[in-house]
Structure 1
Amino acid sequence: MRKLALSDDILMKIEKPARYIGGEVNSVMKSKEDVDIRFAMCFPDVYEIGMSHLGIQILYDMFNRREDVWCERVYSPWTDLDQIMREENIPLFALESQDPIKEFDFLGITIQYEMCYTNILQVLELSGIPLEASERDESDPIVIGGGPCTYNPEPLAEFFDLFYIGEGETVYDQLLDAYKENKKNGGSRKDYLEKAAEIEGIYVPSFYDVSYKEDGTIESFRPNNPHARESIKKQVVMDVTNTTYPEKPVVPFIKVTQDRVVLEVQRGCIRGCRFCQAGMLYRPTRERNVEVLKEYAYKMLKNTGHEEISLSSLSTSDYSELKELVTFLIDEFKKDGINISLPSLRIDAFSLDVMGQVQDIRKSSLTFAPEAGSQRMRNVINKGLTEEDILEGAGQAFEGGWNKVKLYFMLGLPTETEEDMRAIPELADKIARRYYEIPKDQRNGKCQITASSSFFIPKPFTPFQWAKMYTNEEYIARAAIVKHAFNEQLNRKSLKYHWHDAEVTVLEGVFARGDRKTAEVIKEAYRLGCLYDSWSDQFDNAKWMQAFENTGIDIAFYNQRERSMDEIFPWDFIDIGVTKKFLQREWERAMRAEVTPNCRTQCSGCGVAKWKGGVCIEGKN
């Protein structure tokens, strides 16, 4: 019988003790004496968020299929337990064995969003692992970073021993085998990092030096170790059908954000929206075979007892076998009371028909993401959606019985004018008008249009990576223009408007495109008590501003300037397949408000065809 790391007294004192006890259905138990490698897989946020992450479920399953590896899970302790662990010197522990993380060979951290960076330091400190990689010795685990934020790892470079750039199913086995070999031969930590640096897709930050120009931009970025590569090539799984996928995902004890079976139907996106980092990083688009997905649906529902199944993809409507898959799921599982959730659908006749079959129309709302109010602005961002498309889709939905619509927009996009801002409430009003064109006796009560806007953040490896951002005050002023314009609309009683927090946007902007110098701010913010920064009730902007002041790091340098075309970016050493020339070309097209066709309509020569797979070779012999 394993002993819990937390006493009953502590478990009774804290919120949701089930976050920390492990033992869930499908969690993997092994004996530590029977394995060569112990791997702690961490999502640096609370259990409910981390348990909803598909990537961790995939790697957990894949690692534990190896007899020589035991992969366990660890999440950020919530603030109540964090305080107790510090007061009582309780080290952070893994859920399965309840053993301290410090005893593991690896600590792998999934880095999903910029506002979890202080939580990464929390995980390291509570584990008793030095924050800086340079201070670790042979007794510390190797700390690995993976996930979307590793495509600009530089703000976190000094905290990680290595980063895995790309999709986890490709070279992790090599990485683990190299560790075993090094251990057997009595090799040191540095010996292992040198072996790891020779594996494609692995970046060891300590093996690279950065020098800066007088204006603060990068002068050079070069390897300082003969084992390190000049550029790091992202890892891509070309055959997503026959790669590993968890048939028995771990079932959480408590309600989590995504309490359902998730079927990943494809990776990548054909659309090429210029603000969207995922759309560039995960090229080329690769589809999973529909028959295999049907089998997964059966097995995963049987192995978990979940009552909902969800399709996962950046743009589910573009999955070529969608009709067959959805029809199968409805015919097969609807009668058993299984809910079917279909995010990321475009609003067209087929999607509406399907949603009508799987949703209670009277209760549910439809989601459109026009991203911009004016057609000019939608062309700038390459949204590929006309006002006619939007109104036609809304009209079909209203005639099908819906009366609630959510609209998502962005403010602060490159070239945005006041006219573009005012076009947001005008578009919302046109959608409401379309509802009231339906004869009164055929309407489903009043319509409710809820529009919300986030503030645009330029991300690495997008055509907008050169763009400038604005100050907190300027973002609020833009939201105020939109808010006032909503009050002027004819159907204002049917319209609601919300906007996201601008203070968080400013910080995300700094760390999305930051260099190694920004690590100082993260450390200082953490020292001042910043934690769970993506949670609005925990976020403390005043402490962050203090951290910038204390470290002398200038927000304006990172956010409020348009980059020159020849500037060396902190992430330029990573090869994602999409070329910088293509991104520059797309930036120039954006400035002319020119639309680039999607990948199925016409190849735009982005560079990922070199992988010779997925959408790039569809229909070609």
Structure 2
Amino acid sequence: MRKLALPEEVLLQIEQPARYIGNEFNSVVKDKEKVALRGAFLFPDVYEIGMSHLGIQILYDMFNKREDMWCERVYSPWPDLDRVMREQSIPLFGLESQEPVKNEDFLFITLQYEMCYTNVLQALDLAGIPLHAVERTDEDPIVIGGGPCTYNPEPIAPFFDLFYIGEGEVVYDKLFDTYLENKKNGGTRQDFLKKACWIPGIYVPQFYEVTYHEDGTIAAFTPSIPEAPEKIKKQLVMDMTEATYPEKPVVPFIKATQDRVVLEIQRGCIRGCRFCQAGMVYRPTRERDVEKLKELATHMLRNTGHDEISLSSLSSSDYSHLPELVNYLIDSCPEKGVNISLPSLRIDAFSLDVMSKVQDIKKSSLTFAPEAGSQRMRNVINKGLTEEVILDGAGKAFEGGWNKVKLYFMLGLPTETEDDIKGIAHLAEKIAERYYEIPKDQRNGKCQITASSSFFIPKPFTPFQWAPMNTEREFLDKAAIVKAEVRAQLNQKSIRYIYHEADISLLEGFLARGDRKCAEVIEKAYRKGAIFDAWSEYFRKDAWEEAFAETGIDVSFYACRKRSTDEILPWDFLDIGVTKKFLIREWERAQQETVTPNCKMQCSGCGAKSFGGGVCYENQN
């Protein structure tokens, strides 16, 4: 019987104690005396969010398939437990062993969004691991960062021993073998980190130096030891069909954000939206074989007891065997009552036909992501979606019985005008009008349209990485314009408008494009009580404002300043395959309002093809 890390009286005091006890179905428990390596995966957010993350499930399964390794999981303690752990000096612990993560060889931290950065410091602090990598000794775990935020690791570089750039299935085994060899030979922590530099995709921040111009921009970014390469090349899985995938994912005790089987059908995206970081860094497109997906779906449903399966992809409609896969799932699973979730679909006749079979139309809503209200702006961002297509899709949905529609937009996009902003309300009105064109006796009640806008945040490795971000005041003023314009529409009662927090968006922009100097702000904000910044009820704006004031660092310098294309950017030392030349060309085409065809229509020469021959649809029409 395992001894729980938290005393019974603590478990009785806190919200959702099942977050912390481990022992879930399909979790992996090994004899720690029989393994040479131990690690813990940290998702720096609450359990329900972290348990929904596919990447950790894949690597947890992969690492634990090694006979010489045991890998556990750990999630950010919710504020109620955080307080108790500090008061009672309870160290951060892994769910499987219930032992301190400080005893592990590795602490793997997945960085899915910038607003989790203070939670990274929370975890290190609670674990008793020095926050700064240079202060750690041979007794501390090697702290590794991975995930999409590592495409600009600089704002959090001082807190990590190394970063893994790219997809985790590729060189982790080589990293572990190097660690074991170094340990066998009596090597130190520094010896291992120097050896790790030779492994493709591994970035060790402490072996690089940054110098600055007087205006605060970067003058040079250079390796400080011979072992450290000038460029770090992202690692990419080219054969998705043979890549490892968990047939027995861990089943949470409590309802997770995505409480279902997740089947990843492909990686990458052909669309080329100019604001989308994922669409650039995950190029080229790589599909899983449909027969392998059928096999995985069957095993995962059987091994978890879930009654819903989600087909995961950046653009599910572009998977070439989607009809075959969906029809297989519909035909083979009805007796089990399995529901099929189809995110990121382009709404067409096939998609609507499928959704009508797998959803309760009266309860469900359809999601469209026009991103911009006007066709001009959709051309600027290369959305590849016309108003005609949007209205036609909405019309087909309404005729099929749906009456609820969610529309996703962005405000603050480059070149945006007031007409573009008001276009959000006008497009919502046109969709409502399309619904009320249907004869009354054929409608499914009142039309419900929810239009929501996030605020544009320029991200690294996108054509918009040089664009200025709006200030908090500008964002709120633009949201007010949309709100007023919605109220001026004939069908205003059918339209609901909501928007994201402007202050949190501005901070995210600062963290997304920051350099190493920004680490001081993050640490100060954490020391002042900032954790769970992605949760509006816990966001401490005052802590961040004080941190900026005390460090003298200007948020607008990083978030709101337009960059020139010849400026050295904090992430320029990374090679993601997509070339800077291509990104500059797309930035220029955006300002010319010129659309670039998607990869199936025409190869745009982005450079991703040189990474090993993914599905780049060159010269295919």
What band does the TM-score fall into relative to the shorter chain?
Answer: over 0.9
Do structure 1's residue 425 and structure 2's residue 446 form an aligned pair?
A: no
Amino acid at match of 2:83: Q
Shift of 1:95: 0.4
Equivalent residue number for residue 331 of structure 1 = 331
Equivalent residue number for residue 41 of structure 2 = 41
Cα deviations by residue, 1:504-528 (Å, 9 ceiling, x for unpaired): 0000000000000000110000010
Equivalent residue number for residue 370 of structure 2 = 370
8 Å contact from structure 2 (residues 582, 605) kept in 1: yes
Equivalent residue number for residue 448 of structure 2 = 448
Amino acid at match of 1:461: F
CA distance in 2, matches of 1:268, 1:334: 30
Equivalent residue number for residue 562 of structure 2 = 562
Do structure 1's residue 148 and structure 2's residue 148 form an aligned pair?
A: yes
Do structure 1's residue 203 and structure 2's residue 203 form an aligned pair?
A: yes
8 Å contact from structure 1 (residues 274, 463) kept in 2: yes
CA RMSD of aligned residues (A): 0.9
Equivalent residue number for residue 246 of structure 1 = 246
Shift of 1:311: 0.4
Do structure 1's residue 389 and structure 2's residue 411 form an aligned pair?
A: no
Do structure 1's residue 127 and structure 2's residue 117 form an aligned pair?
A: no
Equivalent residue number for residue 174 of structure 1 = 174
Equivalent residue number for residue 606 of structure 1 = 606
Amino acid at match of 1:139: E
8 Å contact from structure 2 (residues 133, 158) kept in 1: yes
Equivalent residue number for residue 285 of structure 1 = 285
Shift of 1:474: 1.0
Cα deviations by residue, 1:421-446 (Å, 9 ceiling, x for unpaired): 00110000001111111111111111
Do structure 1's residue 520 and structure 2's residue 520 form an aligned pair?
A: yes
CA distance in 1, matches of 2:554, 2:138: 37
CA distance in 2, matches of 1:14, 1:392: 50
Amino acid at match of 2:34: D
Shift of 1:560: 1.8
Equivalent residue number for residue 438 of structure 2 = 438
DSSP 3-state at the match of 1:368: strand
DSSP 3-state at the match of 2:210: strand
CA distance in 2, matches of 1:329, 1:464: 39
Equivalent residue number for residue 5 of structure 1 = 5
1:333-352 matched pairs, under 5 angstroms:
333-352=333-352
Q: Percent identity?
A: 72
Cα deviations by residue, 1:530-568 (Å, 9 ceiling, x for unpaired): 000001111121221111111111011112211011000
CA distance in 1, matches of 2:350, 2:83: 52
Amino acid at match of 1:419: D
CA distance in 1, matches of 2:458, 2:149: 13
Amino acid at match of 1:509: G
Do structure 1's residue 307 and structure 2's residue 307 form an aligned pair?
A: yes
CA distance in 1, matches of 2:477, 2:468: 17
Shift of 1:611: 2.2
Do structure 1's residue 255 and structure 2's residue 255 form an aligned pair?
A: yes
8 Å contact from structure 2 (residues 463, 586) kept in 1: yes
CA distance in 2, matches of 1:324, 1:619: 26
Equivalent residue number for residue 184 of structure 1 = 184
CA distance in 2, matches of 1:174, 1:180: 10
Shift of 1:41: 0.8
CA distance in 2, matches of 1:132, 1:92: 18
Amino acid at match of 1:347: I
Shift of 1:617: 6.1
8 Å contact from structure 2 (residues 42, 75) kept in 1: yes
CA distance in 2, matches of 1:532, 1:260: 25
DSSP 3-state at the match of 1:107: strand
CA distance in 2, matches of 1:82, 1:210: 35
8 Å contact from structure 2 (residues 115, 508) kept in 1: yes
1:397-408 matched pairs, under 5 angstroms:
397-408=397-408
Amino acid at match of 2:471: T
Equivalent residue number for residue 544 of structure 2 = 544
DSSP 3-state at the match of 1:609: helix
CA distance in 2, matches of 1:441, 1:15: 48
CA distance in 2, matches of 1:536, 1:301: 35
Moved more, 177-186 or 557-566: 557-566
CA distance in 2, matches of 1:560, 1:60: 39
Equivalent residue number for residue 410 of structure 1 = 410
8 Å contact from structure 2 (residues 109, 145) kept in 1: yes
Shift of 1:619: 9.0
Equivalent residue number for residue 25 of structure 1 = 25
CA distance in 2, matches of 1:554, 1:617: 44
8 Å contact from structure 2 (residues 146, 165) kept in 1: yes
Moved more, 509-518 or 604-613: 604-613
CA distance in 2, matches of 1:399, 1:57: 40
DSSP 3-state at the match of 1:370: strand
CA distance in 2, matches of 1:96, 1:542: 37
Amino acid at match of 2:332: E
CA distance in 2, matches of 1:616, 1:424: 33
CA distance in 2, matches of 1:302, 1:596: 43
Cα deviations by residue, 1:117-136 (Å, 9 ceiling, x for unpaired): 00000000000000000100
8 Å contact from structure 2 (residues 194, 228) kept in 1: yes
DSSP 3-state at the match of 1:614: coil
- How many residue pairs were aligned? 620
Shift of 1:614: 2.1
DSSP 3-state at the match of 2:333: helix
CA distance in 1, matches of 2:285, 2:581: 20
User: Is there any run of 5+ residues in structure 2 with no aligned partner, and where?
Assistant: none
Amino acid at match of 2:132: E
8 Å contact from structure 1 (residues 600, 615) kept in 2: no
CA distance in 2, matches of 1:334, 1:376: 44
8 Å contact from structure 2 (residues 241, 289) kept in 1: yes
8 Å contact from structure 2 (residues 269, 279) kept in 1: yes
DSSP 3-state at the match of 1:601: coil
DSSP 3-state at the match of 1:616: coil
CA distance in 1, matches of 2:559, 2:322: 40
DSSP 3-state at the match of 1:557: helix
CA distance in 2, matches of 1:435, 1:87: 58
CA distance in 2, matches of 1:401, 1:104: 54
8 Å contact from structure 1 (residues 210, 219) kept in 2: yes
Shift of 1:462: 0.0
Shift of 1:363: 1.1
Shift of 1:328: 0.5
Do structure 1's residue 57 and structure 2's residue 57 form an aligned pair?
A: yes
8 Å contact from structure 2 (residues 114, 511) kept in 1: yes
8 Å contact from structure 2 (residues 601, 619) kept in 1: no
User: Is there any run of 5+ residues in structure 1 with no aligned partner, and where?
Assistant: none
Equivalent residue number for residue 486 of structure 1 = 486
8 Å contact from structure 2 (residues 40, 107) kept in 1: yes
DSSP 3-state at the match of 1:615: coil
TM-score by length of 2: 0.99
CA distance in 1, matches of 2:170, 2:247: 19
CA distance in 1, matches of 2:224, 2:46: 37
DSSP 3-state at the match of 1:21: coil
8 Å contact from structure 2 (residues 599, 618) kept in 1: no
8 Å contact from structure 2 (residues 47, 75) kept in 1: yes
Shift of 1:335: 2.6
Shift of 1:68: 0.5
8 Å contact from structure 2 (residues 602, 618) kept in 1: no
TM-score by length of 1: 0.99
